Amino acid sequence: MTEDSIEVKNEYDIISARGFGRGIASRLGFGVVDQCRITTAISELARNAVVHGKGGTVTIKTIQNEKKGIEIICKDDGPGIEDIELALKGGYSTVGGLGIGLSGTRRLMDEFHITSGPGKGTTVTIRKWLN
Amino acid sequence: MIGNEKLLEELTGLLEDNADQLKNQWVKEMTEMKLLEKLTPVEIEQQSSAIYDTCVLTIKNGNYDAAKKYAREMAKKGVLEAMTVDQIIMGMLKLRDVYGRFIFSKYQQEVTKLYKVLDIYEPIANRILNIVALAFVQERERVINEQQLAMLELSTPVLQIRDQILVVPLIGTIDSARAAQIVEQLLNSIVDTQASIVIIDITGVPVIDTAVANHLIKTIQASKMLGADTIITGISPANAQTLVSLGVDLSMMTTKGTLRSGMKLADEMLRIEIVEKV
* Shared domain check, B222 and B102: no
Averaged pLDDT, B13-22: 88
Q: Are strands B229-233 and A111-117 parallel, antiparallel or unpaired?
A: unpaired
Is residue B185 assigned to a domain?
Answer: yes
B190, B223: one domain:
yes
- Reported as type and span, the H/E element at residue B254 is strand B254-256
Three-state secondary structure string covering B126-139: HHHHHHHHHHHHHH
Domain ranges of chain A: 3-129
Most confident residue range from B7-21, B64-78, B226-240: B226-240
Nearest residue on chain B to A33, judged by CA atoms?
B238
- pLDDT 10s digits, B26-60: 999 988 988 888 888 888 888 888 888 888 888 88
Q: Nearest-CA distance from A100 to chain B in Å?
A: 7
CATH number at B246 reads: 3.30.750.24
B147 Cα to chain A: minimum distance (Å): 14
| Local confidence pLDDT in tens for the 131 residues of chain A | 678 899 999 888 898 899 999 999 999 999 999 999 999 999 999 999 999 988 999 999 999 888 899 999 999 999 999 888 888 887 778 877 888 889 999 999 999 999 998 989 999 999 999 97
ipTM score for this prediction: 0.88
- Looking at the structure, do residues B63 and B8 belong to the same domain, yes or no? yes
Q: Are residues B184 and B72 in the same domain?
A: no
Rounded to whole angstroms, the Cα distance separating B108 from A43 reads: 62
Same domain, B131 and B236: no
Task: Check whether residue B120 and residue B198 sit in a common domain.
Answer: no
A98–chain B Cβ distance below 8 A for any pair:
yes
| Residue closest to B231 by CA, chosen among B208, B207, B259, B210 | B259
A39 touches B: beta carbon within 8 Å: yes
Average the pLDDT over B240-263 and give the result. Answer: 90
End-to-end C-alpha distance for chain A, whole angstroms: 18
Q: How distant is the Cα of B134 from the closest Cα of chain A, in angstroms?
A: 21
| pLDDT tens-place string over residues B80-133 | 566 788 888 888 899 999 999 999 998 888 888 899 888 888 888 888 889 988
pLDDT at B249: 83
Which of B99, B121, B146 is the last residue in one of the domains? Answer: B146
Task: Tell whether B211 and B245 lie within a shared domain.
Answer: yes
pLDDT over 90, % of chain B: 31
Q: Are residues B115 and B164 in the same domain?
A: no
Would residue B35 count as lying in a domain?
yes
Whole-number pLDDT of residue B75: 80
Which tens digit of pLDDT belongs to each residue from B133-181?
898 888 888 888 888 777 766 667 899 999 999 999 998 888 777 888 8
The beta-carbon neighbor of B245 closest among A32, A97, A104 is A104
**Residues B171 and B258 occupy one common structural domain:** yes
So what's the pLDDT on residue B136?
Answer: 86
Q: How many domains does chain B have?
A: 2
SS3 of A18-69: HHHHHHHHHHHCCCHHHHHHHHHHHHHHHHHHHHCCCCEEEEEEEEECCCEE
Q: Is the Cβ–Cβ distance between B160 and B176 less than 8 Å? A: no
Strand partners, A123: A75, A115
Alpha-carbon distance B245 to nearest alpha carbon in chain A (angstroms): 6
β-pairing, A3-8 vs B165-171, is: unpaired
Beta strands in B163-244 (DSSP E): 165-171, 197-204, 229-233
A-chain residues near B245 (CB < 8 A): 37, 104, 107-108
User: Do A108 and B242 make contact, defined as CB atoms within 8 angstroms?
Assistant: yes
Residue A36 touches chain B, beta carbons under 8 Å = yes
Residue B228's region, left for phi above 0, alpha for psi from -120 to 50, else beta, is beta
Is the CB of B173 less than 8 angstroms away from the CB of A44?
no
A88 touches chain B (CB under 8 A): no
Any chain A CB within 8 A of the CB of B251? no
pTM over cut 0.80: no
**Mean pLDDT calculated for residue range B184-208:** 93
**Would B152 be classed as within a structural domain?**
no
Q: What is the mean pLDDT of chain A?
A: 91
Enumerate residues 137 to 176 of chain B having a beta carbon within 8 A of any beta carbon in chain A. 173, 175-176
Could you tell me the pLDDT band of residue B78, with boundaries at 50, 70 and 90? low
- Structural domain of residue B119, as residue ranges? 4-146
CB contact (8 A) between residue A40 and residue B211 = no
| Among the partner residues A32, A101, A107, nearest to B245 by beta-carbon distance | A107
Per-residue pLDDT at A2: 75
Segment A4-35, tens digit of pLDDT: 899 999 888 898 899 999 999 999 999 999 99
Same-domain check for residues B8 and B107: yes
Nearest partner of A71 among A80, A61, A81, A79, judged by Cα: A61
Mean per-residue pLDDT for B66-82? Answer: 76
The per-residue pLDDT for A115 is: 94
Domain A3-129 has CATH 3.30.565.10: yes
